[in-house]
């Protein structure tokens, strides 16, 4: 019986395991997860779970009956992989043999080397991170958030709702500038400022001061900010080190083809989720990692289909992969929703409404519409999806 090892116990690992089953693979599947929990939903960790309380059971994904027989090795990470020997070595020394491998080890938050004490600095990626952070977000506490992307901005909104004093420090000119563009980013900044968030944009943190815990942060312009809690949300790093030594391109995640197959003839390997740098027929041949919530499900389905075919001795479907990137974000009582890849745009058009109120913003490049973002306009934003899907037509 052929065996599959899935490295990564998040949504991508779960969806790939489910897809292996729905595509006829009946052999043993072992999923290795570095966290002690079964796959769970991360977006609430910066929003409702951080605000209202964290129960990992409530965050857990429902697992289809087809994966009830999967072996979950949790609280342990993959340390190394030998594709020629078809083994994965775990950090506790165990060695797992496989016939097919799924790379779904995801990403971790980037940690910038900044002088000063480490105490009081935290990331927000896992349930454990959120559980540690939540009791510290209380009225009057000074919170400094590094980074003005989605996690930084959502966390800023939640920390304000919990009564904390919030400053956001980021090198970008506007919050969420890459996905939203400068104008909508500026409008979102105004919404945050209306709720009492202070932005220090175009700056970095040069150093932290304090004994064993941070009590203040000094910015590149010399400003000193009180800082009881520092939340670091300055991007992510793919977890690829365990794949070293196998001749794979690991320069930014793992490169895959449209079937989510990793380019190697040593062993059958697929990748899914945040780590998979994949082509998308909707947006040209350039392979990209897309850290949106819906991509692990989309790439996992395809990866499972491909690996099931490879293990059955069949040719996988190498036809185009065309999945619609989609994100949403809730900040205060505002709901942002997007389809496509607005970050590719060279021209941004306010299609309807007012940037400081409900609105629809279109994103275009030379090929036409590449993305849409709506603020408090879910239904109208959704009506653009069909038009964007049409980009895959020959």
Report the interface residues with other proteins, using CB under 8 A.
15, 41, 43, 61-62, 64, 293-294, 297, 324, 326, 328, 330, 335, 337, 378-379, 382, 385
Q: Which helix (H) or strand (E) holds 158?
A: helix 150-161
Nearest to 46 by CA among 142, 139, 172, 147: 147
| Shortest reach from residue 347's CB to other proteins, in Å | 26
Question: Contact at 8 Å (CB) between 123 and 109?
Answer: yes
Nearest to 253 by CA among 299, 204, 316, 192: 299
Comparing CB distances to other proteins, the nearer of 279 and 374 is 374
| Shortest reach from residue 120's CB to other proteins, in Å | 31
CA 213, chain centre distance (Å): 29
Comparing CB distances to other proteins, the nearer of 207 and 378 is 378
Residues 6+ apart with CB under 8 A from 110: 232, 234, 235, 236, 237
Comparing CB distances to other proteins, the nearer of 62 and 135 is 62
Q: Could you give the C-alpha distances from 25 to 151, 258, 271, 313, in angstroms and in order? A: 37, 20, 17, 12
Question: Contact at 8 Å (CB) between 195 and 334?
Answer: no
| Shortest reach from residue 135's CB to other proteins, in Å | 24
| Shortest reach from residue 123's CB to other proteins, in Å | 22
Comparing CB distances to other proteins, the nearer of 327 and 363 is 327
Nearest to 336 by CA among 278, 377, 289, 277: 377
Comparing CB distances to other proteins, the nearer of 46 and 297 is 297
| Shortest reach from residue 320's CB to other proteins, in Å | 18
For residue 362, what are the β-bridge partners?
349, 372
Query: Sign of dihedral through CA atoms 296, 302, 305, 306?
Result: negative
For residue 165, what are the β-bridge partners?
142
Comparing CB distances to other proteins, the nearer of 28 and 382 is 382
For the sheet containing 269-271, what is the strand order? 71-74, 29-33, 4-7, 100-103, 269-271
| Shortest reach from residue 15's CB to other proteins, in Å | 7
| Shortest reach from residue 155's CB to other proteins, in Å | 18
Comparing CB distances to other proteins, the nearer of 41 and 223 is 41
| Shortest reach from residue 374's CB to other proteins, in Å | 11
Q: What angle do CA 208, 212, 214 make, to 5 degrees?
A: 30
Strands 165-170 and 142-146: parallel
Comparing CB distances to other proteins, the nearer of 271 and 388 is 388
């Amino acid at each position: 019986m052929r065996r599959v090892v899935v490295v990564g116990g998040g949504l991508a690992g779960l969806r790939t395991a489910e897809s292996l089953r729905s595509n006829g693979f009946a052999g043993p599947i072992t999923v290795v997860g570095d966290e002690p929990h079964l796959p769970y939903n991360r977006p609430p960790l910066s929003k409702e779970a951080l605000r209202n309380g964290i129960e990992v059971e409530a965050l857990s994904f429902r697992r289809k009956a087809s994966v009830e027989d999967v072996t979950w090795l949790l609280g342990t990470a993959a340390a190394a992989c030998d594709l020629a020997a078809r083994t994965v070595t775990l950090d506790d020394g165990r060695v797992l043999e496989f016939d097919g491998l799924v790379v779904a080890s995801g990403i971790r938050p980037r940690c910038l080397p900044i002088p000063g004490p480490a105490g009081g600095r935290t990331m927000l990626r896992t349930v454990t991170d959120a559980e540690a952070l939540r009791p510290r977000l209380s009225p009057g506490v000074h919170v400094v958030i590094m980074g003005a992307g989605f996690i930084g901005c959502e966390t800023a909104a939640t920390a304000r709702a919990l009564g904390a004093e919030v400053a956001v420090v980021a090198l970008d000119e506007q919050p969420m500038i890459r996905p939203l563009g400068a104008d909508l980013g500026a409008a979102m900044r105004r919404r945050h400022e209306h709720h009492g968030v202070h932005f220090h944009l175009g700056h970095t943190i040069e150093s932290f001061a304090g004994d064993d815990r941070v009590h203040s942060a000094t910015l590149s312009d010399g400003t000193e900010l009180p800082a009881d809690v520092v939340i670091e949300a300055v991007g992510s790093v793919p977890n690829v080190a365990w794949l070293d030594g196998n001749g794979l391109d690991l320069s930014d995640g793992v490169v895959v083809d449209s079937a989510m197959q990793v380019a190697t003839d040593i062993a059958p390997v697929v990748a899914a989720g945040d780590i998979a740098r994949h082509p998308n027929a909707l947006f040209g041949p350039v392979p990209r990692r897309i850290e949106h919530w819906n991509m692990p499900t989309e790439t996992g389905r395809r990866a499972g289909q491909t690996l099931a075919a490879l293990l059955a001795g069949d040719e996988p479907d190498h036809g185009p992969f065309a999945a619609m990137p989609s994100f949403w974000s809730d900040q205060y009582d505002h709901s942002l929703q997007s389809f496509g890849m607005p970050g590719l745009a060279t021209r941004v058009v306010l299609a309807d409404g007012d940037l400081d109120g409900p609105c629809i913003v279109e994103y275009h490049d030379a090929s036409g519409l590449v993305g849409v973002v709506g603020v408090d306009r879910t239904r109208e934003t959704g009506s653009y999806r069909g038009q964007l899907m049409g980009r895959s037509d020959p």
